A and B are shown apart, each in its own frame.
Chain A
Amino acid sequence: MSNAPSDLAARATPEPVARRIRGLSDRAIAWIFVGPTILILLAVNIFPLIWTIRLSFTNFRVNRPNAEVEWVGLKNYSRVLNDPDIWMSMQATAHFLIWTIVLQVLIGFSLAYLINKKFKGNDMWTTIIVLPMMLSPAVVGNFWTFLYQPQIGLFNYVVGFLIGADPSSFSMIGDVNLAPWSIVIVDTWMWTPFVMLICLAGLRSIPDSIYEAAECDRASKWRQFWTITIPMALPFLMLAVLFRGIENFKMFDLVVQLTGGGPGSITELTSINLKREAFEKWRTGYASAYAVILFVTVFGLASIYVKALNKVKDR
């Protein structure tokens, strides 16, 4: 994500010509062009964020607008951090994150590796594989509840057929042990293509000459894979993990429609839990503190990760 070309471009503009423009200077034009975007982002992103932080120190409730709003200091924060339900959600989220990332990286990288073998028609099959991730997660999640129905659902029928079990003997979204896996499966189905595409870009960025040199040195294929392919594709893989990590940390739509957090609260990820606190229990101040904690967590983890990513890139 470098801006070097544009800086060069800006410098390359001949100053006298730029100054000759009737009326407006380049600087004024720049502000006219950038201004509206910055204003909208400030109004619809930053202002609400600051408002959330402010609310997190109060006991405000949206459904009781006339009640007196008190400043409660850090009480909301300590209550959030001591709430066992929230720790359960964090655990559910961690489980979901780890498994989706592991599966998506493994399958996505394998697929990219295979597609890179340039077999006939790979372009068409790649497009088919990519389709699910472009679809609406809520709509897709809802339809998967149908595929997961015991007996009538296609998923149960096919899996039952393959492992020789009775399709009505298990319920992916009704069973406490299976429900977390039901969301892992759908998320992997939807988002493996994303990891695959990035890995493919990574593999294609490795120049052939490196392999040719390794071949001259009589390095085995296996050795070439571990000393050339993996290290050269690693920055791309890490980028894929970053994007998937951020997206899945705030995962909401797919899971709401698929399991709704149930059975019980076994698949209640933090976003779903937060929505419940904010828009069902209407504990606005408390939910705001929760939101701030989540936001700080994502930002913190993401920035640490980006540092590591940059180190790998510069190597």
Chain B
Amino acid sequence: MSFSVTEPSQRQKWIAGILVIGYALITIMPLLWIIATGFKSPSDAIAYPPKVVFEPTLEGYVNLFTTRTRVTEEAFAALPPPATWYEEIVRDSGVVIAGPSRYGERFLNSVIIGFGSTFLCIVLGTAAAYAFSRFKVPLKDDLLFFILSTRMMPPIAVAIPIFLMFRQLGLNDTHAGMILLYTAVNLSLSVWLLKGFIDEIPIEYEEAALIDGYTRFQAFYKVVLPQAATGIASTAIFCLIFAWNEYAFAVLLTSGTAQTAPPFIPTIIGVGGQDWPAVAAGASIFLLPVMIFTILLRKHLLRGITFGAVRK
């Protein structure tokens, strides 16, 4: 390697490395603590001093997915032996399983609403981004700014009329309503990001296709779409993450049927306060997909979170 004045010295690299790793370890601590707490027993979770070494148990996960009830001693003694491993865990603490909890349902809602709105966002966003990138759309700059500005609004500022509007249309607390809402929230991101990706595809490809006798539509889905596939995939993941994490609209506009996991997890209550292992288990399951996506998305991360305003 040739000598360069801008290449940091070995010593500088060491110091930088140690400081950054130190910060990273502090950052990751709360996350590791969430995951660890999910595998603790309730008494280990609130032990003083906080327990780093503990006997792992799935009690938190069992509590997360079930509702439990205490029965009289005679009834408890008369029960047949536990049929499943999770029944056994629950019996150990002197209760029996009464039924499933609502976490599964809420998680499924998050999946349905997240993927539904992401799908719509991508379909509408790709079309709009293609048009903005390739055609002379009247008032293009104004429209693009308008699309971006919808993101500046605090959710609560429009929540009241959306609440009224949805009530009128029968969309309150429905999957369709939430999908529509999250689609609108994420469209700005989708259009801006995809426009950036499509701008980068050389226009010559399409020209060649048009000269070969393809129509615009054919050129769009046979030439542009495959070229934009990576960009579309990462845009989709960003839309999904934003819809997945959304809380304000979810807590204001849903109460039962269409409630997603973020408003639900904090309401998991055990005996005398929050059931922390169960909360941690719920949070772990909920946060895990996003953590995986983040690692996969490393390359596009900056673009996605800044609407493509900054490119790495």
Asked if B160 lies at the interface with its beta carbon under 8 angstroms from chain A, I say yes
Question: Known interface pairs A9-B134, A130-B301. Does A146 touch B276 (Cβ–Cβ under 8 Å)?
Answer: yes
Given A55-B161, A134-B290, output 13 extra A-B contacts at Cβ < 8 Å.
A36-B128, A44-B162, A44-B184, A48-B161, A49-B157, A129-B20, A129-B24, A139-B266, A154-B29, A198-B302, A239-B306, A257-B266, A295-B153
Nearest-Cβ distance from residue B47 to partner chain A, whole angstroms: 7
Q: A136-B245, A275-B252 are in contact. Are A131 and B50 (CB under 8 A)?
A: no
Does A34 contact B128, Cβ atoms closer than 8 Å?
yes
Q: Are A41 and B16 in contact (CB under 8 A)?
A: no
Determine if B294 and A131 form an interchain contact, defined as CB atoms under 8 angstroms apart: yes
13 pairs from A and B in contact (CB 8 Å cutoff): A3-B141, A20-B210, A26-B135, A26-B136, A30-B135, A33-B131, A40-B124, A131-B27, A134-B294, A138-B263, A140-B30, A278-B160, A295-B154
Alpha-carbon distance between A107 and B26 when the two chains are bound, in angstroms: 13
Cα-based distance from A131 to B164 in the complex (angstroms): 37
In this assembly, does A267 line the interface, its C-beta being within 8 Å of a C-beta of chain B?
A: no
A87 interface residue per 8 A CB criterion: no
Assess whether B195 is interfacial by the CB under 8 Å rule: yes
B150 at the interface (CB under 8 A from A): yes
- CB distance A37 to B128 under 8 Å? yes
Q: Which residues of A contact B (CB under 8 A)?
A: 1, 3, 5-7, 9-10, 12-14, 17-18, 20-24, 26-27, 29-34, 36-38, 40-41, 43-49, 51-52, 55, 62, 107, 111, 114-115, 117-123, 125-140, 142-144, 146-147, 151-154, 157, 167, 189, 193-194, 197-198, 200-201, 204, 208, 211-212, 215, 236, 239, 243, 246, 249-250, 252-253, 256-257, 271, 274-275, 278-279, 284, 287-288, 291-292, 294-295, 298-299, 302
> Quick check: A143 and B30 within 8 Å, CB to CB?
yes
The closest CB in chain B to the CB of A287 belongs to: B160
Measured between C-beta atoms, what is the minimum distance from B258 to chain A in Å? 16
Contact residues in B for A138 (Cβ distance below 8 Å): 245, 247, 251, 262-263, 265-266
Contact B20 A115, beta carbon cutoff 8 Å? yes
A21, B21: Cα distance in complex, Å: 58
| Interface residue? B19 (CB, 8 A) | yes
Is B33 a contact of A215 with CB atoms below 8 Å? no
Q: Decide if A252 touches B154 in the complex (CB within 8 Å).
A: yes
Query: How far, in Å, is A44 (CB) from chain B's closest CB?
Result: 4
The complex places the Cα of A131 from the Cα of B30 at a distance, in Å, of 11
Which residues of chain B have C-beta atoms less than 8 A from A26's C-beta? Answer: 135-136, 216
Q: Once the chains bind, are A10 and B164 in contact (CB under 8 Å)?
A: no
Question: Would you list which residues of chain B between 175 and 196 have a CB under 8 Å from chain A?
Answer: 180-181, 183-184, 187-188, 191, 195
CB of A217, distance to nearest CB on chain B (Å): 12
Of B2-10, B92-100, B225-233, the segment with at least 4 beta carbons within 8 Å of chain A is B2-10
State which of B63-71, B82-90, B279-287 sits at the interface with chain A.
B279-287
Shortest B56–chain A CB gap in Å is 18
Q: Is the CB of B310 within 8 A of A29?
A: no
CA distance A47 to B154 in the complex (A): 15
A208:B6 contact, CB within 8 angstroms: yes
The answer to whether B286 and A271 touch across the interface, beta carbons within 8 angstroms, is no
Tell me if A9 and B199 are in contact (CB < 8 A). Answer: yes
The answer to the question of B108 belonging to the interface, with a C-beta cut-off of 8 Å to chain A, is no
B53 CB-CB contact with A under 8 Å: no
Q: Which B140-186 residues have a C-beta within 8 angstroms of A?
A: 140-141, 143-144, 146-147, 149-150, 152-165, 180-181, 183-184
| Bound Cα distance from A222 to B292, whole angstroms | 40
Chain A residues, Cβ within 8 Å of B147? 37, 41
A201/B301 contact (C-beta < 8 A), A17-B207, A114-B19 known = no
Check B152–A302 contact: CB distance below 8 A.
yes
Residue pair A284, B160 in contact (C-beta under 8 Å)? yes
Contact partner of B291 among A129, A134, A157, A271, CB < 8 A? A134
Q: How far, in angstroms, from A34 to B135 measured CA to CA in the complex?
A: 11
Instruction: Please measure, in the bound complex, the distance between the C-alpha atom of A18 and the C-alpha atom of B132, giving whole angstroms.
Output: 16
Q: Check B39 for interface membership: any CB of A closer than 8 A.
A: no
Contacts of B79 in A (CB 8 A): none
Summarize B's interface: helix, strand, loop or mixed: helix
A315 to chain B, nearest CB (A): 18
Docked-complex contact B165 and A129, CB < 8 angstroms: no
Q: Which residues of A contact B155 (CB under 8 A)?
A: 250, 252
Complex formed: what's the CA distance from A212 to B5 in Å? 6
Known A40-B187, A49-B158, A52-B161: A139·B287 in contact at CB below 8 Å = yes
Question: Which residues of chain B come closer than 8 Å to A271, judged between CB atoms?
Answer: 154, 156, 248
Complexed CA–CA distance, A126 and B279 (Å): 28
B128 touches A51 (CB 8 A): no
Query: Are A37 and B49 interface neighbours, CB within 8 A?
Result: no
How distant is the Cα of A273 from the Cα of B162 in the complex, in angstroms?
A: 19
Q: Do A129 and B23 touch (CB < 8 A)?
A: yes
Cα-based distance from A147 to B34 in the complex (angstroms)? 9
B295 — which chain A residues lie within 8 A by C-beta? 127
Closest to A45 in B: B150
B286 contact from A37, A139, A252, A278, Cβ within 8 A: A139
Q: Which residue of B lies closest to A209 (CB)?
A: B6
B305:A197 contact, CB within 8 angstroms: yes
**Mask of B19-54 contacts with A, CB within 8 angstroms, 1/0:** 111011001111101100100000001111110000
B133–A6 touching, CB < 8 Å:
yes
Q: Is B107 an interface residue when CB atoms closer than 8 A count as contact?
A: no
Contact indicator B216/A146 (Cβ below 8 Å): no
CA distance A6 to B217 in the complex (A): 18
**Cβ–Cβ contact B203 & A30, under 8 A:** no
Among A36, A40, A136, A157, which residue has the most Cβ atoms of chain B within 10 A?
A136
Q: Which 3 A-B pairs have the closest CB atoms?
A: A44-B184, A250-B154, A51-B161
